[in-house]
Amino acid sequence: MDFVHPISAVIPGAQGRVLAALAETTAELNLRTLARLSGVSVAQASRVLPGLVELGLVERREVPPSSQFRLVRTHVAARAVLQLAAAPEIVLAEIGDAAATLEVPPASVIVFGSFARGDAGPQSDVDAVFVRPEGVGEDDTRWVDGVERWRTTVRSLTGNPAEVLEVPIGEIAERVQGSQAVWHDIRRDGRVVHGLTLDELEGATDA
């Protein structure tokens, strides 16, 4: 899934781009502004807008010398468009919920990399740190099965593969304070989707 342009990924062409631009604002836009924000020509925008207006998905209001357009957010189809626009945040919330329901929930799940930065494309992995709770071995079948179940859930939700970096809770402070570039990235960009933050994990380790 292209999470940078989720609407136009599902609704290709000028129509998807126009809908994506309209979904980003509640303001009315004239044809030229809408075309510019959509990254399409004025001619392309003028071809797709009448159909969207006819569907009731877009409202057109005449304000001479131009027409103004806006997405009708109460329209049933607009709800789907707005859901697509919110797909990155929806995915983060749902993969956090999926981690919470595992038989042995991790102490923390921190998504990093392109998904955390907001630039995940169709070929991007969903990179995540899984912090293994104290007293749970890396070979514990409940833990191993849970991690694999989570990876399968992520693939089902996104179409993107999940890469999991497993770390026991007792090693978090050492990893975070070390020199590996990946941990600098996790500290800078990481999004906690379940459990403790890095600071809380370090505090738990110190205690």
Which CATH architecture fits 86-206?
A: 2-Layer Sandwich (3.30)
Domain positions in the chain: 6-84, 86-206
Structure tokens at 173: 């402070």
Domains 6-84 and 86-206 share a fold: no
Residue located via tokens 């303001």: 27
Per-residue pLDDT in tens (0 to 9) along the chain, 207 residues: 999 999 999 999 999 999 999 999 999 999 999 999 999 999 999 999 999 999 999 999 999 989 999 999 999 999 999 999 999 999 999 999 999 999 999 999 999 999 999 999 999 999 999 999 999 999 999 999 999 999 999 999 999 999 999 999 999 999 999 999 999 999 999 999 999 999 999 877 654
Domain 6-84 matching CATH 1.10.3720.10: the answer reads: no
Cβ neighbours of residue 35 closer than 8 Å, sequence gap 6 or more: 41, 42, 44, 45
pLDDT score of 164: 97
User: Three-state DSSP class for 176?
Assistant: helix
